[in-house]
Structure 1
Amino acid sequence: MRIALERPDQPEVLALVDALDAYQKPLYPAESFHGIDLPTMLRPNVLFAVVRDATGAALGCGAAVLQEGFAELKRMYVRPEARGRGAALRVIAFLEQELVARGVHLVRLETGTLQPEALGLYARCGFVRRGPFGGYGPDPLSVFMEKTLPPPGGPGAPACG
């Protein structure tokens, strides 16, 4: 597997985002769905990572939206047939490295209560629960989490991966 920052407007990558939406949208009412659209993903403050297999096929993706004082993890998805091979862990670890290189040391996220696999993944990566942040309000279907990233080469939160 290889991971790189890529444009999200590639057809194969858009298919990943569409698959994520197809999975999440039936789980939650519209007011509890917090995905970001393509124009947002194309903004300069968004790091969009794609993990590909040896043939170059896109297996998964994830984004980090740089905000004032933190980054928000968004659009994490791995194709069902590619799960269990560490792709999601690698995407998160890659994004964390990119953030630290840019001087960002706090990562936050919102995920849904109906996604136990995601909750487990984030906990394994060192994310801890917190209250709503940014523009989010309280939502019984949302779980808010964060993780402090260590400085390069320094001690800190467990690495994901």
Structure 2
Amino acid sequence: MRIVPVPYDHPDAAKLMAAVQQVYVERYGDEDATPMDPAQFDPPQGLFLIGYQGEEAVACGAWRAHDGPAPDFQDGDAEFKRMYVADSARGRGFARMILFELERTAALSGRKRAVLETGTKQPEAIALYASSGYVEIPGFGIYKNEPDSRCYAKDLSGA
């Protein structure tokens, strides 16, 4: 898989984000309502990545910088968003590749910690994060009081 940075509003990004939103609808009954300003994903304060297999966009992930406010965020945080792999490309390690590249690029941009939110109805995501060194943290963002929400963090100093 070839991983390419693209603007948040790139057509392939829009297609993959629509697909991940459909997963949220199927599993939780509604789309993710987290506020997303496309400018937050512009370098150097953010990045949107697309994974291509040949010419087909099959995976994505993004990060945006946060420098507080506590207790939700700490100085140097990178919040990971929109991790997704198309059904046709699952089981090939693409999610792990996108996650590694998000960590690497966030660390290169001076980010100190990766944080993310997922849900209990996404056990494959929870397994990926746990096996990649993420630890559960107190909830943050608009879902911090939702019983199905789980938040994780990882120190990026070794990325």
Q: What SS does the corresponding residue of 1:26 show, helix, strand or coil?
A: helix
CA distance in 2, matches of 1:114, 1:149: 26
**2:114 paired residue among 93, 107, 130:** 107
Alignment correspondent of 1:23: 23
TM-score of the superposition, structure 1-length normalised? 0.83
> How many pairs were matched up?
148
Structure 2 contact 143–149 (Cα < 8 Å) conserved: no
Which amino acid counterpart does residue 58 of structure 2 have in structure 1?
A: L
Which amino acid counterpart does residue 41 of structure 1 have in structure 2?
A: P
1:125-144 matches, within 5 Å, as 125-134=132-141, 136-144=143-151
How far is 1:99 from its partner?
1.0
CA distance in 2, matches of 1:90, 1:9: 22
Alignment correspondent of 1:149: 156
How far is 1:13 from its partner?
2.3
Q: What SS does the corresponding residue of 1:147 show, helix, strand or coil?
A: strand
Q: Considering fraction of residues, name the structure with more strand.
A: 2
CA distance in 2, matches of 1:41, 1:122: 25
Gaps of 5+ in 1: 153-161
CA distance in 2, matches of 1:25, 1:108: 23
CA distance in 2, matches of 1:11, 1:135: 27
Structure 1 contact 36–75 (Cα < 8 Å) conserved: no
Q: Deviations over 1:56-114 (max 9, x none)?
A: 21111001111102011100000011011111111111111111111112011110111
**2:130 paired residue among 98, 118, 123:** 123
More moved, 143-152 vs 109-118: 143-152
RMSD, matched Cα: 1.9
CA distance in 1, matches of 2:115, 2:122: 17
2:38 is the alignment partner of 1:41: yes
1:53-64 matches, within 5 Å, as 53=53, 55-64=54-63
CA distance in 2, matches of 1:21, 1:143: 18
Q: What SS does the corresponding residue of 1:108 show, helix, strand or coil?
A: strand
